[in-house]
Structure 1
Amino acid sequence: MKQLIDFIPLILFFITYKLDPRSLEFAGYAFEFGGIYSATAVLIGSSLVVYGALFIKQRHLEKGQWLTLLACLLFGSLTLLFHSETFLKWKAPVVNWLFAAAFLGSHVIGDKVLIQRMLEHAISLPAQVWKRLNLAWVGFFLFTGTANLVVAFTFHDIWVDFKVFGSLGLTLLFMVAQGIYLSRHMPQEEANATKE
């Protein structure tokens, strides 16, 4: 459920982007609604609401949520300030590459790799398997960051569709592959317990 909440700003961004631009009046002011710039404003506003509500409820945000929120505020604000979607196109690649750097850095900083710190409460695996899985996440984030960059600057007409659905599809495929990989390395008792 928590992961779905993280997608609310992205879904609202996509819906607003797909609307035909129209002028709306509110409190005596005219606003353009629909298209990239109002979608960016919706992304910023909805991210503040969603992550603000999560922070109030949980009294904290995870590091990845802080990174996503700060990147949204930075790249979204630059997009609106300079009226250039180029800044927003760089958001997904930069965030993915920062995640890749964090996962890679955990191989030399700390006594456990990042994926182990995230999942060891649920499953137990040999240290070598954790390291391989962590490197797979590094590769995944490098690939998705690069794919987002290539699509954003090469296939302008579909970059928002790819940002929402392509990235989500890649993530789901990777999660399935990760599940298959983990099932081969889980102790037998644990694998049986997860099937029940």
Structure 2
Amino acid sequence: MKFLVDFFPILLFFIAYKLYDIYVATAVIIIASLGQVSWVWLKHHRIENMHLVTLVLVVVLGGATLLLHDETFIKWKPTIVNWAFALAFFGSQFVGKKNLIQRMLESQISVTVPQVWNYLNMAWITFFVVMGLVNWYVAFHFDTNTWVNFKLFGMMGLTLVFVIGQSFYLAQYMVVEEESKTEKS
């Protein structure tokens, strides 16, 4: 369910773009992002930082796109979001005893080598920097239709490949709970 809530504004942006144009799609993603954050707030009485950062950037850059009738601003949003996340993951190494990836996953996953959290955190930093650069390249070296398709399918596909790769890496170091060997004879 969380995936659908996170994915909802991007999907509506894509559909609105395909049916109308970038400006209608921008207005739709602003409204959908406001709706997303409102729904999460009403349901959980808290808002995740990712949703808040995305909402602010969608409203500011989307608003500039609509006011100035210039699609450049909305095209910058994925790059800025990715670079903001890279900065957050980087900064987390210097705040507290645990980096951001460890704080996010440690309650669900135990590892045999604590240094793994640092490697994973660095991998996410690199991933977010590269994704920001790739978005920038596609946004400003290809037409808007290609960028919209890349934003939905390319970025999601690359993220999925990265998460799967991270899972294989992490599996080497995960602590596996021993199952009780109480079998009937």
Smaller-chain TM-score bracket: over 0.9
Mapped pair 1:100 → 2:89: no
Q: Please give the residue correspondences for 1:12-91 in structure 2 after superposition, counting only pairs within 5 Å.
A: 12-19=12-19, 34-91=20-77
Large movers: runs of 4+ above 4 Å: none
Partner of 2:134 in structure 1? 147
Mapped pair 1:134 → 2:121: yes
Partner of 1:188 in structure 2? 176
Distance 1:178 1:35 in 2: 36
Q: Please give the residue correspondences for 1:155-166 in structure 2 after superposition, counting only pairs within 5 Å.
A: 155-156=142-143, 157-166=145-154
> Cα RMSD (Å) of the superposition?
1.2
Distance 1:180 1:12 in 2: 32
Mapped pair 1:174 → 2:176: no
Q: Please state whether the residue corresponding to 1:61 is helix, strand or coil.
A: coil
Mapped pair 1:113 → 2:99: yes
Which amino acid counterpart does residue 133 of structure 1 have in structure 2?
Answer: L
Q: Which has the higher contact order (CA 8 A, sep 6+)?
A: 2
Question: How far apart are 1:109 and its partner, in Å?
Answer: 1.5
Distance 1:143 1:55 in 2: 31
TM-score (norm 2): 0.92
Distance 2:16 2:48 in 1: 27
C-alpha offsets along residues 129-188 of structure 1, whole Å, 9 cap, x if unaligned? 000000000011011110000000001240010011100001100110011011111123
Question: How far apart are 1:4 and its partner, in Å?
Answer: 2.2
**Which 5+ residue runs of structure 1 have no aligned equivalent?**
20-33
**Which 5+ residue runs of structure 2 have no aligned equivalent?**
180-185
Question: How far apart are 1:41 and its partner, in Å?
Answer: 0.4
Question: How far apart are 1:127 and its partner, in Å?
Answer: 2.3
Question: How far apart are 1:65 and its partner, in Å?
Answer: 1.2
Partner of 1:24 in structure 2? none
Partner of 2:2 in structure 1? 2
Which amino acid counterpart does residue 140 of structure 2 have in structure 1?
Answer: F
Identity of aligned residues (%): 50
C-alpha offsets along residues 26-56 of structure 1, whole Å, 9 cap, x if unaligned? xxxxxxxx10101100010111111111111
